Structure 1
Amino acid sequence: MTKVLFICHGNICRSPMAEFVFKDMVKKAGLEDQFVIASCATSTEEIGNLVHPGTRKRLQQEGISTAGKHAVQLRKEDYNKYDYLLGMDAWNMKNIYRIIGKEDTDKVRRLLSFTDRERDIADPWYTGNFDETYNDVVEGCEAFLNFVTSKI
């Protein structure tokens, strides 16, 4: 069982997008029973809030639902609970390390570090470009799924 936690600032845009895109990919690959997939925030600003309407709309275009998802915050104990903690950008990474109390390059990585073009995933809260974020999330999730399944 591979346990994956996607992490962004508020857990309303990028990390839930990655959570539900990855769940969809895993389901389509017939690997649902081999993964636990969740997402969370490094901040407390959005705790309890629903997924951002822009993220919900973009995922609905792909037939992906985020029903029932509310923002939650990363906890120190999540480090031991999950095999991979995947941040969306360099700022998230700093905050992840602050919360978990250590730097770990094996378990804790940026999502796009699994691609040929490692970079940050822009926050659509600020850019308004949910399509660009979606494309980056898909690229990262595909690369991560290939990485993980090569180890199974």
Structure 2
Amino acid sequence: MKARILFVCLGNICRSPMAEAVMRHQVEQAGLNDRIEIDSAGTGDWHLGHPPHEGTRKLLDEHQISYQGMKARLVAESDFETFDYIVCMDTKNLRDVRELLKNAGTLESRAKVFTFMELLPDKGIADVPDPYYDGNFPFVYELVNSGCRELLKRVQADLKLA
């Protein structure tokens, strides 16, 4: 059995590709590449086909985490059947994903759909801040790194690998 994770943010150039790259790195370090697949997508179409934002790339480079081949794409209806976990970077992304799910003609999905910050309840914030607007990529990286560790534990438990 394989687990498939989709991270979702607004434009798919800052937060969700950062989470995708960090999660891929953590999965690789855990030796689980053959058991866990990771992708990211956005709810808005402004940056389709673009690589991650320069701020995201810079931080990933500093931590020697690859983002090779990553390009922004939109969430697709097929994602609701492809992925086991759809992790939304903020509550607006969650509402948008649920609206897409409703518009796809179903209120159910095989995926567990939740916000990223549900992985870090002790932080006391609901949303991963969007560094596209405030430039605080280091803070977002800290959240993403910690949250991905928690998500990896959850996935390993669900796959009975822990």
Flag whether TM exceeds 0.5 (same fold).
yes
Task: List gaps (5 residues or longer) in structure 1.
Answer: none
Show the counterpart of 2:37. Answer: 36
Following superposition, the deviation at residue 103 of structure 1 comes to 6.7
* Structure with greater Cα Rg: 2
Q: Pick the aligned partner of 1:127 from 134, 146, 151.
A: 134
User: Does the CA-based 8 Å contact 1:112-1:139 persist in structure 2?
Assistant: no
Show the counterpart of 1:148. Answer: 155
What is the identity, as a one-letter code, of the residue corresponding to 2:154?
F
Secondary structure at 1:38's aligned position in 2?
strand
What is the identity, as a one-letter code, of the residue corresponding to 1:128?
G
Show the counterpart of 1:51. Answer: 52
Identity %: 36
Show the counterpart of 1:111. Answer: 116
**Poorly superposed stretches of 4+, deviation over 4 Å:** none
Once residues 4 and 31 of structure 1 are traced to their aligned partners in structure 2, the CA distance between those partners, rounded to angstroms, is 13
Show the counterpart of 2:21. Answer: 20
After superposition, the C-alpha distances for 1:57-77 in whole angstroms (9 at most, x for unaligned) are 001000012121110000111
Once residues 113 and 146 of structure 2 are traced to their aligned partners in structure 1, the CA distance between those partners, rounded to angstroms, is 18
After superposition, the C-alpha distances for 1:37-57 in whole angstroms (9 at most, x for unaligned) are 100001111111111000000
Secondary structure at 2:87's aligned position in 1?
strand
Q: CA RMSD in A?
A: 1.6
- Compute the TM-score of the two structures, normalised by the length of structure 2: 0.89
User: Does the CA-based 8 Å contact 1:75-1:100 persist in structure 2?
Assistant: no
Show the counterpart of 2:65. Answer: 64
Secondary structure at 2:34's aligned position in 1?
helix
User: Does the CA-based 8 Å contact 1:42-1:73 persist in structure 2?
Assistant: yes
- Compute the TM-score of the two structures, normalised by the length of structure 1: 0.94
How many residue pairs match? The answer is 152
